[in-house]
Chains A and B, each alone.
Chain A
Amino acid sequence: ETGVTQSPTHLIKTRGQQVTLRCSSQSGHNTVSWYQQALGQGPQFIFQYYREEENGRGNFPPRFSGLQFPNYSSELNVNALELDDSALYLCASSLGISGGPYEQYFGPGTRLTVT
């Protein structure tokens, strides 16, 4: 059974640029959630996708957007990058949406540095 994978591992971007991060969910999982983890903090929920539809969004501006594909893989897009966007971006997949009896399985993350 393949776990959650994310690409790329590391990324360096310049302020104002755009970035796309990718996530492949664990086999059989139809729900993907994205989190931002700043240094010394717990992960903060960005949004969740269930069967290609957004199912909940955290307190992040609209320049954070996402997609989920028919194979349940997902992308996180961030436009107009700011220095504060530097963080570890985590993807998690689950068998169903949060609130139900489903645990989330996390990928290794993408470390984004904005200069």
Chain B
Amino acid sequence: AQSVSQHNHHVILSEAASLELGCNYSYGGTVNLFWYVQYPGQHLQLLLKYFSGDPLVKGIKGFEAEFIKSKFSFNLRKPSVQWSDTAEYFCAVNARRSQGNLIFGKGTKLSVKP
């Protein structure tokens, strides 16, 4: 069965620090990859996505992610975080031509100290 692992449950950073959140998935075939963000009191929003092409994907608010197929990874990065990045971040995967199944990781809570 497919699964998604997010390595960190809670990350605490100071403003201007660099961020990298890990995401690994288990599935041998071709996948679509997503990062979603949930700000406090708000609903899940798409941060970025990968379907094909350049494995380095840029999303909103300065976030980027790199798909490394050989490592089954899709890590999220931001060079300099802001207090407003405080949120919960979810990695999600679905297999190409699958039936409906978008698999989410358990999420990483990011707290940015001003």
Contacts and interface: CB of A to CB of B under 8 A. Distances in A.
A103 B34 contact: yes
B36 to A, nearest CB: 8
A103 B49 CA distance: 8
Contacts, number: 76
Interface of B: 4, 32, 34, 36, 42-46, 49, 51-52, 90, 92, 94-107
Interface string A16-39: 000000000000000001010000
18 contacts: A33-B102, A35-B104, A42-B90, A42-B104, A43-B44, A43-B90, A45-B101, A48-B99, A56-B98, A58-B101, A98-B99, A98-B102, A99-B97, A100-B96, A101-B52, A104-B102, A108-B42, A109-B43
B99 A56 contact: yes
**Number of contact residues on A: which range applies?**
20 to 34
Nearest to A90: B44
